[in-house]
Structure 1
Amino acid sequence: TTDDLFETAVEAAQKKGYVKQGDITVITAGVPLGVSGTTNMLKVQVVGHILANGEGINKQKIRGRLCVCHSKEDLVKEYQPGDIVVTQDTDNTMLNQLKTASGIVIEKGSLDAHAVTVGLSLDIPVLLNVKNATDILKTGVFVTLDCENGVIVAD
């Protein structure tokens, strides 16, 4: 299928080092496949398996374990130092955990959000406006948080 062809082409380009996770690729193809002169398709595709996207506040990129918190109690119970904290929003009651977090992902937010202030103060990546992050992402999963491209990519 064309989807299989596109996936194979992107994987080959990634193995050769031409593209990396989070890069945007433009692929041209012709249908029916294998017939010269039939280029009639164009696809824009992000490299890798994007789990979620949002707005990065800096250009940092880190790999880490997710700690998804539906409540402050979840954060206290599930958090391990170095985790990427995923929550609807942050506040001062979370500072003990946020001080040792490797990144922050929030569902809401603007540039004056608490998470932004914490992230800039601690020099850690923060991704804002990640819709349904606490439903989509799962605690314990290792991901790459790429704030430059505004994506969370499965490892």
Structure 2
Amino acid sequence: RGLMLNWGVYPTVAQKPTTTDEMFELASKQAVDLGFAKEGDLILITAGVPVGERGTTNVMKIQLIGSKLLEAQGIGEKSVVANAVIAHSAEEAIAKAKDGMILVVPTTDKEYMPAIEKAAALIVEDGGLTSHAAVVGIAKDLPVIVGAKDATATIKDGELITLDSRRGIVYRGETTAI
């Protein structure tokens, strides 16, 4: 209750956590439920460890509110927010290609180049740092994530996603806090 004296602090009552991880999860959920945060926001959580003891505010954590769809090997330093285009073949990729899209495919080769030329970023299920997708991404300064297992099944066609190539993470929706 004493926290209410500080500007911008909104204390709330929540169930008592038993672990630190549960405490962070409850705090994030409470912030969203009360409308203080939404998906894509970055929040600062202050807490005390051990959990449940008074006067032990000794932990701070910056946490992103949102859904992480996948994590793999990122190539590049950029983040891109765009709609995903899922394709299972070069022909399908070329037919569905849109300027500024994030192309999500099982693999790439030279047949995919017309679609890759229109893409703002690329997510590939197979491959590594020496794969076709990685080499093309480096040459064209295109953010790429390779080795993204089940990406074509996890990400929905047309879904708005955020690709962080520096960390190799794909988030659902627009995440501007990265």
| 1:7 match | 29
Sort the Cα spacing of 1:148 and 1:26 in 2 relative to 1 into closer, same or farther, 3 A.
farther
2:132 is aligned with 1:114:
yes
Determine the C-alpha separation between the residues in 1 that align with 2:63 and 2:73: 16
Gaps of 5+ in 1: none
Between 1 and 2, higher relative CO (CA 8 Å, sep ≥ 6) is seen in 1
- TM-score, length-scaled by structure 1: 0.75
SS at match of 1:99: helix
- How many residues end up aligned between the 2 structures? 144
SS at match of 2:156: coil
Please list the CA deviations of residues 118-143 of structure 1 after superposition, one character each: whole Å capped at 9, or x if unmatched.
11111110001111001111111111
Instruction: Report if the CA contact (8 A) 1:69-1:86 is conserved.
Output: yes
Give the partner amino acid of 2:167.
Answer: N
Calculate the aligned-residue CA RMSD, in Å.
3.3
| 1:76 match | 94
| 2:76 match | 58
Q: State the Cα distance separating 1:30 from its structure 2 match.
A: 7.3
| 1:152 match | 170
Which is greater in Rg? 2
SS at match of 1:85: strand
Give the percent of matched residue pairs that are identical in Structure 1 and Structure 2: 25
Determine the C-alpha separation between the residues in 1 that align with 2:97 and 2:49: 49
Gaps of 5+ in 2: 1-14, 16-22, 174-178
Determine the C-alpha separation between the residues in 1 that align with 2:145 and 2:171: 13
